[in-house]
C-alpha cells in the first residue's frame, strides 16, 4: 500500500516524517524513532563497536528547526591516539578533556555522532534495515486491518489493465476513509462476460490476503464458485436462514452454472428449494445472474441417491435410462436420453454434460435411445421419462456418444498463477509512476513525505431484475454435427474448476510501503 503526494518544493519536517512513516503501520512517533534507532544500533554494533550504546533524539537548532541527532552513550577515553575507524566509539584523553576536563582514561561519556560522518555504504545498510523493519510493521498492520476481507465479496475500482502475451492483468483498488489497498486479478480468474473498464467498479471475490516481500498481496476473482455461493446467501433469505442448503456448485464463468440445493430437516413443509431460489417469474435468480454478467444459472434438486442426482443434473434433458459402468473409472455412468433431447443433454459446446458431471463428481456417457438400441443396450426405464415417450422430447420435472470425466479437468491455483510475478512486474513497469526522490536536507535513508489522497468508495446499484428469466437456448444440430461433437468433445482447460486452489506458493509483489 502506498501513499502518494503531489510534487512540492516544501521541506519535510521531522514531525511530518514520523507522522508519515508511522501512519503506514499505525505506529507512534516514539515507535518509529525506536525502530530507526534499532536499525542504526544494529549496523553500528556490527561494523564498529559491538558494545556501543546509542540514543536518537530530536533537538531544536538555534534557528528553531528540529533535527535528528545521534549520540553514543559510552564513548571510551583512551591513553593513545585512536585510528580513523575507532573515532565513533573512542577518543584519546587530550581531546576528551577539551569536551569535559573531568574525563580520565577508561572513563566513558556521551558524544554526538554526526550523520554526515557515515559513509554511503553505512547509510545504505541502515536504510535497508530500517525500511525492512517498517515493512514488517506495515504488513502486520495491513493484515490486522484487511485480513478479514478474505472470502468476502467487495466492490473495487479498476485502476489499470495490462495485456502481455494475450494475458490480461487487472489492477484494482479499494478506497475508503481508512486508506486504500491494491489487488490483482489474473487473466484466468476473470469472468469473460464482465467488461473491465478503467475507472469502473466491479464486484469481486477476495481469494487471498497475505503479506509478501513488499507489502500486502491481495488476489481477487469474479470466477470463483464462492462468489456465486455468496451471492446466493445474500439474495436468498431461505439460504441465509439455513432452511435451504447449497450442496454443490459448478460454473463455466460468465456462461452457465448449475447449483444443487435441498431443504434442511427443520425447514417448513411449504418451502420449495428450487422455487425459492428462482423466485417469482425468475426475479431472484435473474438478479444474481445479472451480477455475474448474465451467466445462466440452472437450479437442480439435490438427491443423496447418486443416480437420481445425475438424472436431475442432466436437466433440461429427460432421462430414459441410467446405469453404472463397471470399469476402472470411479462413478462412471451411462445416461440414455430421448432422441430429441440428445443435444440438450450435451448442451452447446458440451456445457450441460460438463456441468452435470462436475456437479455430481461423475463421468457421464450420453447416448440417445436410438443409439442405445443400436448397441443392444437393454433400457431399464429407470429415469424420469415414461417408456412411451422414449423417442419424444419431454421436459424434466427439475429443470453418437459423449464422454466427460469429472466435469472439469483439475487446474491448481499454482498453474493459474504461472508467470504471475512477471505479469505484475510488467504491469508496474507500464502503468505505475516512479516515486519521488528523498529531499536533500535529510540523510539518504529518510524517505520523502507523501500525502494520503483517498476517496470514499462509492457503492454501485446493480439492476434488480431482468426483463425475462434466463433459460437455456435450444441447440439444433444435424446428425453430422452431433457425430462430430460426440467424437471431438474434450474438456476445455480454460473453464477448469477453481475449487481447490493452493494459495501457499504465490509470490506476487505488492505495492512497496514507500
Domains in the chain, please, with CATH?
14-141 (3.30.1480), 225-405 (3.30.300.20)
Question: Is 399 within 8 Å of 359 (Cβ atoms)?
Answer: no
**Mean pLDDT over each residue of the chain, to the nearest integer:** 77
Beta strands in 408-506, from DSSP E residues, in sequence order: none
**386-393: which pairs have CB atoms within 8 A and are 24 or more residues apart?**
387/320, 389/318, 389/338, 390/320, 390/338, 391/338, 391/339, 391/340, 392/338, 392/340, 393/318, 393/338, 393/340, 393/341, 393/344
d(CA 477, CA 471): 19
Residue 418 binned pLDDT confidence (cut-offs 50, 70, 90): low
Residue 429 pLDDT > 70, yes or no? no
Range 207-222 average pLDDT:
83
Rg (CA), the chain: 33
Q: What gap in Å lies between CA 377 and CA 135, rounded to an integer?
A: 68
Long-range contacts of 34-39 (CB under 8 A, 24+ apart): 35/130, 35/133, 35/134, 35/137, 36/130, 38/129, 38/133, 39/126, 39/129, 39/130, 39/133
Q: pLDDT tens, 433-489?
A: 333 334 443 343 343 333 334 333 333 333 333 222 333 333 444 445 444 444 444
Q: List b or e across 33-66, with b for residues whose CB sees 16 or more CB atoms inside 10 angstroms.
A: bebbbebbbbbbeeebbeebbbebeeeeeeeeee
User: Please, which pLDDT band fits residue 197 given cuts at 50, 70 and 90?
Assistant: very high
Q: How confident is the model at residue 278 (pLDDT cuts 50, 70, 90)?
A: very high
CA 165 to CA 422: how far, in whole Å? 11
CB atoms within 10 A of CB 173: 18
Least confident stretch, 67-71, 72-76, 497-501: 497-501
For the entire predicted model, the pTM comes to 0.58
Q: Is the pLDDT of residue 239 over 80?
A: yes
Q: Is the pLDDT of residue 409 over 70?
A: no
Instruction: pLDDT band for 33, please (50, 70, 90 cuts).
Output: confident
Residue 58 has pLDDT above 70, yes or no: yes
CA dihedral 277, 278, 280, 284 (to 10 degrees): 70
Q: Phi, psi at residue 88, to the nearest 5°? A: -70, -30
Instruction: Dump pLDDT digits (tens) for 363-403.
Output: 999 999 999 999 999 999 999 886 656 555 444 444 433 34
Residue 390 neighbours by CB distance under 10 Å: 23
Cα of 405 vs its chain's centroid, Å:
29
The total number of residues shown for the chain amounts to 514
Question: What pLDDT does residue 17 have?
Answer: 74
Cell numbers 485480513 correspond to: 147
Amino acid at each position: 500500500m502506498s501513499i502518494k503526494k503531489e510534487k512540492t518544493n516544501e521541506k519535510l519536517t521531522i514531525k511530518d516524517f514520523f507522522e508519515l512513516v508511522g501512519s503506514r503501520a499505525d505506529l507512534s512517533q516514539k515507535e518509529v524513532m525506536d525502530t530507526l534507532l534499532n536499525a542504526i544500533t544494529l549496523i553500528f554494533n556490527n561494523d564498529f563497536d559491538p558494545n556501543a550504546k546509542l540514543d536518537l533524539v530530536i533537538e531544536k537548532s538555534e534557528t528553531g528547526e528540529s533535527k535528528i541527532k545521534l549520540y553514543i552513550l559510552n564513548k571510551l577515553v583512551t591513553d593513545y591516539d585512536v585510528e580513523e575507524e575507532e573515532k565513533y566509539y573512542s577518543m584519546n584523553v587530550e581531546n576528551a578533556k577539551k569536551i569535559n576536563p573531568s574525563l580520565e582514561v577508561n572513563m566513558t561519556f556521551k558524544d554526538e555522532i554526526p550523520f554526515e560522518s557515515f559513509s554511503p555504504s553505512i547509510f545504505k545498510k541502515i536504510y535497508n534495515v530500517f525500511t525492512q523493519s517498517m515493512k514488517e510493521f506495515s504488513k502486520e498492520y495491513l493484515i490486522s486491518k484487511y485480513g478479514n476481507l478474505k472470502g468476502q465479496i467487495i466492490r473495487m475500482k479498476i485502476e489499470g489493465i495490462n495485456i502481455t502475451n494475450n494475458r490480461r492483468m487487472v489492477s484494482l483498488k479499494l478506497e475508503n476513509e481508512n486508506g486504500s489497498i491494491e489487488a490483482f486479478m489474473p487473466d484466468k480468474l476473470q469472468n469473460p462476460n464482465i467488461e473491465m473498464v478503467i475507472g469502473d467498479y466491479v464486484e469481486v471475490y477476495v481469494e487471498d490476503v497475505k503479506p509478501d516481500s513488499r507489502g500486502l498481496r491481495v488476489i481477487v476473482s469474479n470466477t470463483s464458485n464462492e462468489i456465486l455461493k455468496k451471492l446466493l446467501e445474500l439474495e436468498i433469505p431461505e439460504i441465509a436462514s439455513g432452511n435451504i442448503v447449497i450442496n454443490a456448485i459448478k460454473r463455466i464463468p460468465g456462461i452457465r452454472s448449475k447449483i444443487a440445493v435441498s431443504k434442511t430437516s427443520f425447514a417448513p413443509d411449504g418451502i420449495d428449494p428450487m422455487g425459492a431460489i428462482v423466485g417469482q417469474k425468475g426475479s431472484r435468480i435473474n438478479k444474481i445472474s445479472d451480477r455475474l454478467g448474465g451467466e445462466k444459472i440452472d437450479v437442480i434438486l439435490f438427491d443423496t441417491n447418486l443416480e437420481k442426482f445425475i438424472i436431475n443434473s442432466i436437466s433440461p434433458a429427460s432421462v430414459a435410462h441410467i446405469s453404472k459402468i463397471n470399469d476402472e473409472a470411479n462413478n462412471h455412468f451411462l445416461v440414455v436420453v430421448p432422441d430429441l433431447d440428445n443435444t440438450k443433454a450435451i448442451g452447446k459446446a458440451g456445457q450441460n454434460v460438463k456441468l452435470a458431471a462436475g456437479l455430481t463428481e461423475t463421468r457421464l456417457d450420453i447416448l440417445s435411445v436410438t443409439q442405445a438400441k443400436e448397441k443392444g443396450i437393454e433400457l431399464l426405464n429407470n429415469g424420469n421419462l415414461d417408456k412411451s415417450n422414449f423417442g419424444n422430447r419431454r421436459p424434466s420435472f427439475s429443470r453418437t456418444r459423449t464422454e466427460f470425466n469429472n466435469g472439469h479437468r483439475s487446474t491448481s491455483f499454482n498453474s493459474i498463477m504461472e508467470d504471475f510475478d512477471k505479469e505484475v512486474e510488467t504491469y508496474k513497469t507500464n502503468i505505475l509512476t516512479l516515486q519521488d526522490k528523498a529531499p536533500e536536507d535529510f540523510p539518504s535513508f529518510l524517505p520523502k513525505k507523501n500525502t494520503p489522497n483517498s476517496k470514499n468508495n462509492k457503492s454501485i446499484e446493480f439492476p434488480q431484475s431482468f426483463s425475462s428469466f434466463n433459460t437455456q437456448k435450444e441447440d439444433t444440430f444435424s446428425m453430422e454435427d452431433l457425430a462430430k461433437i460426440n467424437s471431438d468433445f474434450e474438456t476445455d482447460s480454460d473453464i477448469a474448476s477453481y475449487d481447490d486452489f493452493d494459495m501457499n506458493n504465490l509470490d506476487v509483489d505488492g505495492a512497496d510501503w514507500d
